[in-house]
Structure 1
Amino acid sequence: MPSPSWLTTIAGPDSGFRNKAKMAVGGTATAPTLGILDRAHRGIDLRDCGLHSPGLTSALELVAGFITRADLAPYDVARRTGELKHVLLTESPDGELMLRLVVRSTADESRIRKHLPWLLETLPSLRVVSLNVQPSHAAVLEGEREIVLTTQAALPMRLAGLDLALRPQGFFQTNTDVAAALYAQSRDWATALDPASIWDLYSGVGGFALACTAPGRTITGVELSSEAVAAASATAPAGASFVAADATEWALAQPTSPELVIVNPPRRGIGPALGGWLEASDTAHVIYSSCNAATLADDLATMPSLRPVEARVLDMFPHTTHYEVIVLLSRRANPHD
C-alpha cells in the first residue's frame, strides 16, 4: 500500500494539559487521598500531578475538603467498606468544571446534597455535579446509573469555534489543545472535499461532525452512548443529526452510503465487518482518527480500495508511547494500482 503524505506532527504542552482527573479515593474521610491505590490498596495522593491543568489541581484541594466536610468514607477495597470510590473531575476550555462522585450506593446521597451548596459557593466554577453508582466490587471505574445533583446537566465545551457539550457519561478527549487540532484537521479535509453527505461513526459528543458542518451538507453522527447523543443533539445546527446506535450495525442497515465517512473508534478499531462494508460501499473518502496504530493497520488491510492520501500524528498523550493519528483515505478504481 502506498505511503500517505505525512503532515507536520502536532504536539501541545507536555505539562498541565489534561482536562480530566480520574482519582481513586483512599485514606479516611478526615484525611482523604485522591490519586491511585498501591498494591496493598492504600491511597497515594496525586493532587499535585503535573499533567493536570492548574484549574483541576486547585479544584481537587477543595473537593478533598468537601469529602471531609460531608464525612464521606472512602471505599476500602480490602474490607469492602466505605462508599466513595472515585472522583472524576473535568475542566472545560472556559475553566468551568464537572464533578462526578463514584459511590458504591446512594447511602450518602442526602449528606452530599446537604453540603453541596458549600462546595458550589467555595468552587464557583463548578457547574455540574453528579453521583455515579457503581455497586460492584470490581475494577470497573463507573456504573450505569447517574444521578445529577445540579440544575445544569451538561458542561459547555467550547473550542476551535465549536460549541460542544459534555454530559456526565459522555466522552471527550483529555487534551484540549490537541483535540482542537484534531477537529481542525478533519474540517480542513472536509472543506477541500466538499461532500454533500457525511457520516460520523463513533461520534461521541459530535466534535468531528460539528467541525465539518457546512450549508447544504447533511451530517449524521452515530454513537452508542445515549448521553453523548443527547449532548451532541443539543448543540447540533441545521443539517446535523445524531443517532444512538452501534456504529457497525447502523451502517450495515442503511440502504445508501454517504460521500464521506469519519470514524473515530476505540482502541480495538472498526473491525472487519465495518471495514468490509466501507470497502464494498460507494463512499469516496474516509477520515480515520485512531489511537492505536496496530488496529488502524489491520483495518486499512480490509479496505484496499481506500488509499491513504494524507496523515498526521498528534501527540495526544505526552510522556507515553501512545498517540493519535488521523488519516485521509480516497477511493481508487483498482486496489492493486
Structure 2
Amino acid sequence: MKKPAQKRSTSKKQQPETLKLTIDRLDHDGIGLAPYNNKIAVVQGAFPGETVIAEVEHIGRTHIFTRLLRTLRNAQQRTTNVACKVEHQCLGCPLISMKYSDQLLFKQQRVTSALQKQGLLDDIDVPAVFPSDPPFGYRASAKLAFSRHREKVFIGLYKRGSHEVIDCPECPVHHPLINKITAVVRDEVQRQNISVYNSRHQRGLLRYLVVRVSPHSGKALVTFVSNFRDLQQLPKLAKWLMRKVPEVIGVHQNINSSGGNVILGEQTMRLQGLPDLIETIGDIRLRIAPEAFFQINTTQAARIYALVRQWAQLNKQDSAIDLYCGIGGIALHLAKDAGQVEGIEYFAGAVRNATENSHLNNLNNCHFFAGDAAEELQKRSEQRNPTLITVNPPRKGCSDDLLEALYKLQPKQIIYVSCDPDSLSRDLKTLTENGYKIKQLQPVDMFPQTAHIETVVQLERIDKA
C-alpha cells in the first residue's frame, strides 16, 4: 500500500527568545544583572534602574546570557553621546555609555565594598578616584587581531568570550595614532592580498598587530606577529608603513606559531627603523622594547609613580625594594631620592630593559634582578631591613610566601599598587594582622570606560612598644 505523502513543514526558523528585564545592579566587570525566573540575566551595556529588551544567547545553570537590543527606560547615569559604533558587538568597554562621573563613583564603591568585606574601613575612608584626563584616546598600546571575512581584512578586538574579531576602525579609547596606523595597515594588507591567519586551520601569515605609542613624543613602534618567519612580504609592508606614517619609527616581526591564545612568541626581529621606543614619564625616560610590558595609560602611570614617590619620602640614608618592577617605572622614580633601590622582576627581558633605563637616566644607585619575588625577598632576610618595599603584582595579588617574606623582612613601610580590589583587600587583611596598619590609599582610574580600577595603598609598620 502506498504511504501518504508527508506534508512539508511550513514553520519558519524559530526566532531567538527575547526578555523584558529590569536591571538591579552591576557585577565587578560593570555588566548589568537582572533577576529572572530564579536565575540571573546578564546584560552588558545596561545599567541599574533600566528596563531593557534583551535577546537570549545562552542559558546556563544559574545565569542567562543575553544581548542588549534596546532600553525602554534609561538610567540617569546613561550618557546621550554615542562614543562607539560597535559597542554592542565588541563588548570591550562595558561602561562606555555611562557618564564618566558615574563611572568614577562606581569604581570608588567597588574599592569600598572590597575593603568593607575584609573589615578594613574602621580607620580609613576611600577617597574620590583620580580621574583620567582625557577619558578617551588614553590607550597608548594595543594588541589587535587580524582576520578575514568574505575576503575583507578585519583588524580589531576579539568579541568577549569568542574568537570573532570585531573590526573597529575608530576605537574611541585608542590613541588616535593607533587608529591611524591600523587603518593604513588594513588597507595595505587588503591591497597586497597578504595572507591572514585562520585559527581553525592554523594557516596564514598575519596573526596580530601590536602598536605602542609615546604620547609624549608622538612616535610609535609597530610589531607584526606572524605565524611563521617571512622575509618577503613583511619587510616590504614595514618599509611602506614607515613611508606612509612618518610617526612610526620602527617596525618589528614577532614569530608565534603556537596554537594557543598567547599573542607574542619568543623571537622578535627588527624589520625597519629603531629597536625601541623612548617614553618620558614624569622626569624619567624609559626605553621600551616591542615585547616589554608597560602601562597603557601613561598619564595615569605618571600620577601613580609620583604618588608613590611622594608618600615614600625617602632620603639618601634609605633603601627600597621594588617587586614586580617591570621595566623600572616605580624603582627609577624612587632612586631619585633613595640611597639604594633594587628592582625584582620575573621576566629577564624586562630586567634587561630596566637596567638599560637606569643607565639612560644616570641612576647608578638602582639595580635590577631577575627572579621570583618571594624567593628573592627570602634571600635578603639576613640583610638590613629596607626602608620601603613596593609591590605591583598581577591581578591575582601576592602569594602567601611573598606576604610572609614581606612581614618577616619588616620594612618600615610598604606601598602596594593593585589592579584588583578583591585580591588587594585579601592581602591587606593579612598584612594588617601581621604588624602593619593602613596609613592612606588612593584609587586611580587607569582604564576609563571599563570596570577596572587601580589602587595605591601605603602601609606603616607598627613599632612594638
TM-score normalised to structure 1 length: 0.92
Shift of residue 328, structure 1, vs aligned partner:
0.5
3-state SS of 2:311 partner = helix
1:51 aligns with 2:173: yes
Distance, in Å, in 1 between the alignment partners of 2:249 and 2:369 is 27
Percent identity between the two aligned chains: 29
For residue 286 of structure 1, the aligned residue among 371, 393, 414 is 414
Deviation by residue 1:211-232 (Cα, 9 ceiling, x = unmatched): 1123561111111222222222
The one-letter code of the counterpart of 2:313 is T
1:238 aligns with 2:364: yes
1:178 aligns with 2:300: yes
Shift of residue 174, structure 1, vs aligned partner:
1.0
Q: What is aligned with 1:296?
A: 424
1:249 aligns with 2:375: yes
Deviation by residue 1:68-108 (Cα, 9 ceiling, x = unmatched): 455431111223221211111111122111111111111x2
**Cα gap change, 1:179 to 1:272, in 2 (>3 Å):** same
Distance, in Å, in 2 between the alignment partners of 1:245 and 1:78 is 37
Shift of residue 207, structure 1, vs aligned partner:
0.8
Q: What is aligned with 2:187?
A: 65
Q: What is aligned with 1:10?
A: 130
Distance, in Å, in 2 between the alignment partners of 1:328 and 1:53 is 32
CA contact (8 A) 1:287 1:326 kept: yes
**Cα gap change, 1:40 to 1:248, in 2 (>3 Å):** closer
CA contact (8 A) 2:239 2:272 kept: no
**Cα gap change, 1:40 to 1:230, in 2 (>3 Å):** closer
Give the number of aligned pairs: 334
Distance, in Å, in 1 between the alignment partners of 2:263 and 2:322 is 27
Q: What is aligned with 1:321?
A: 451
Greater displacement, 203-212 / 133-142: 133-142
3-state SS of 1:220 partner = strand
CA contact (8 A) 1:29 1:68 kept: no
What runs of 5+ residues in structure 2 fail to find an aligned partner?
1-119
CA contact (8 A) 1:272 1:302 kept: no
Q: What is aligned with 1:98?
A: 221
**Cα gap change, 1:29 to 1:239, in 2 (>3 Å):** farther
Q: What is aligned with 2:197?
A: 75
CA contact (8 A) 2:143 2:211 kept: yes
Shift of residue 3, structure 1, vs aligned partner:
3.5
Shift of residue 115, structure 1, vs aligned partner:
3.5
Shift of residue 5, structure 1, vs aligned partner:
5.5
3-state SS of 2:232 partner = helix
CA contact (8 A) 1:70 1:115 kept: no
TM-score normalised to structure 2 length: 0.67
Higher relative contact order (CA 8 A, sep 6+): 1
What runs of 5+ residues in structure 1 fail to find an aligned partner?
none
3-state SS of 1:243 partner = strand
Distance, in Å, in 2 between the alignment partners of 1:327 and 1:239 is 25
The one-letter code of the counterpart of 2:279 is M
Deviation by residue 1:120-155 (Cα, 9 ceiling, x = unmatched): 121211123222221111222222222232452221
**Cα gap change, 1:202 to 1:194, in 2 (>3 Å):** same
CA contact (8 A) 1:309 1:330 kept: yes
**Cα gap change, 1:234 to 1:11, in 2 (>3 Å):** same
The Cα RMSD (Å) is 2.3
CA contact (8 A) 1:27 1:42 kept: no
The one-letter code of the counterpart of 1:331 is R
Q: What is aligned with 2:141?
A: 20
Shift of residue 166, structure 1, vs aligned partner:
0.9
CA contact (8 A) 1:29 1:74 kept: no
**Cα gap change, 1:268 to 1:85, in 2 (>3 Å):** same
